[in-house]
Chain A
Amino acid sequence: MTGDEAFRFIDDVTSDLTFEARGATLGDVFAAASEALLAAAVERPEAVCDVVERRLALEDTRLDWLLRRFLSELVYLLDAEHLALRARRVDVRGEEPDFHLDAVLVGETLDRERHVAANDVKAVTAYGLAVARDEHGDWRARVTLDV
């Protein structure tokens, strides 16, 4: 990733869609991953307005599993409730094996007049899933979506 890019899709798994996300804190990298997921599902994600607010609290024993559960919740809300959401704030705390996440999600109900669908995100896979610090101390995540 270059400059201020918080996420980018990379040419990786032939069948599906892989992205990398970056953030100064764990909360930032989780929020960047939520933006990447929204960009995978909706063309011009900037057209998704902050109309609805949801709160989410999760726990897990591993950071990568916590990220997968967090993104899987967003996939569920998109598919079951037609809510296109991004994270306004994510707080991740704790250490292995006891991580906690609190997130404020914002967005709106998909509207076919204003939102152009991109990919039908089926699931967040565990393939190549990673959350780790890079050599500069930033947090990086790598996620492959089944689309």
Chain B
Amino acid sequence: MSAPATLARVGPAEWELPKGFRPGMHVPVRIFATEKLVQAMDAQVFVQAANVATLPGIVGSSLCMPDAHWGYGFPIGGVAATDAEQGVISPGGIGFDINCGMRLVRSNLEWAEVEPKLGRLVNALAARVPAGVGSRGFVSLTRAEFEDVLREGARWAVRKGFGTAEDLAYTEASGAFLGADPEAVSAKAIARGRDQLGTLGSGNHYLEIQILRSDGVFDRELATAFGLGQPGQVVVMFHCGSRGFGHQVATDYLDRFLRAMPAKYGLEVIDPELACAPFMSDDGRAYYAAMCCAANMAFANRQVILQRIREVFAEVFERPAERLELATVYDVAHNTAKLEEHEVGGRMRRLLVHRKGATRAFPPGHPELPAAYRKTGQPVIIGGSMETGSYLLAGLASGRASFHSTAHGSGRSMSRTRARKLVRGAELQRAMRERGILVHAASIAGLAEEAGLAYKSVDEVAEATELAGLSRRVARLTPVGNVKG
């Protein structure tokens, strides 16, 4: 067991590491996980979460979701809320891939119709949705148009014909973070991202065809409310972010914050990846404005990709996309910092909630949810490995303990370097095909890094979120075709 001796169980799937674990902690660490998942966590998760607890202005606890694993600086699956007036903003608490996120799209197609065309569908998606290193997007933009994307996010995409107003209604923040200012981003970030709108990226980014099996429904009523229900229903899930634009924004501001911390703000951090600035400072506000630009680029990216998916489906199934009823169930962000109101110690406080590899999970009744989901709670998408499956869940009122955050994936259990030593990409691709999962990968060698054995069990992670009261399972989705970056 790698967990520290002072880690105490405080609930069925909740653990606390006290403030005394390491000097300088302002708050305790709270981990939401089953005993099995806690035991399997990297020892560095506890160290990193404790480091996060030293951030100036952190409120409540430094949080780890059930899929938490060892990252750079902050753990992946970490959540840190800081006071909006007195606290800091930290690019490392968001990650380089700003607004890396998931979109789930339902259809009225059934597996019986899709199965004979699956090969053609996967190949067409791979051909039409650029993926992999160095790929260029299918949307050509002037600099002025790209700046519009940064201000408007998915709203720009819909305004230009890439999708519908309904897509926006079912996208977190309606597809655009307010406060974006292109003046806050560098020329390098613009140059890096301008031709990448409409690209999946690489690594763990993917586009997956999934089916809802008859035994995959956990909550019939919620599944129906989210447009899922009939066994064999085909859905599409995809995972991507702000691409090189967001990576460069984070690179630029990490560099800026490392230099500004001691000189301007007298701040010191335990780990350079925790570099931060007061949220209300010039540097803090500039990063927030730039981060919002990157978040908006990611929303627009997922929106234009959805429209390309609709085109491909229409071609392969030889009828208009509208008749296939390809509709956004929800689009959620994983890597952001958002200004939110939360109850802390009996009073409402305005907090900047950093989520790095964690999903917002608003409860039923939350005013930011679209009318159709006001009673259900926010849909949550947890993407598993390409070999296993993924989950659709819903936010719960009991999730206030995590500032209404939950897991984002199954969480890596093995480094990429080790996975490559154990698995050969071509063999994995063949074995998956024999098990009924067709994979098209931009990098066959890189495919090995995403093997199921490199991840925790998505079933255990999804169950743990329910045991911890963070989110409840609605449906389990089974992969049948995967386009991997």
Contacts and interface: CB of A to CB of B under 8 A. Distances in A.
A37 B356 CA distance: 24
A35 B247 CA distance: 21
A129 B417 contact: no
A55 interface: no
Contacts of B244: 79-80, 122
B42 A14 contact: yes
B184 to A, nearest CB: 18
Contacts of B415: 11-14
| Residue of B97, B191, B251 with most chain A CB atoms under a 10 A cut-off | B251
Contacts, number: 128
Interface stretch (A25-33, A98-106, A113-121, A133-141): A113-121
Given A120-B201, A144-B72, A76 B443 contact: no
Interface in A50-88: 65, 68-69, 72, 75-76, 78-80, 82
Interface residues of B toward A: which range?
35 or more
Contacts of B132: 117, 120
Nearest to B100: A122
A80 B191 contact: yes
Contact of A16 (B44, B191, B275, B416): B416
Interface in B397-446: 412-418, 442-446
Contacts of A118: 133, 443, 445-446
A118 to B, nearest CB: 6
Contacts of A65: 255, 258
Nearest to B196: A79
A14 B202 contact: no
Contacts of B418: 11
Given A76-B248, A78-B134, A126 B273 contact: yes
Interface residues of A toward B: which range?
35 or more
Interface in B83-137: 95-97, 132-134
B330 interface: no
B429 to A, nearest CB: 14
A132 interface: no
A59 B404 CA distance: 44
A127 B445 contact: no
A127 B70 CA distance: 11
A75 B191 CA distance: 13
A97 to B, nearest CB: 11
Interface of A: 9-18, 41-43, 65, 68-69, 72, 75-76, 78-80, 82, 110, 112, 116-120, 122-129, 144, 146-147
14 contacts: A14-B42, A14-B69, A15-B71, A15-B412, A42-B133, A72-B251, A78-B134, A79-B134, A110-B133, A116-B444, A117-B133, A122-B244, A125-B96, A126-B275
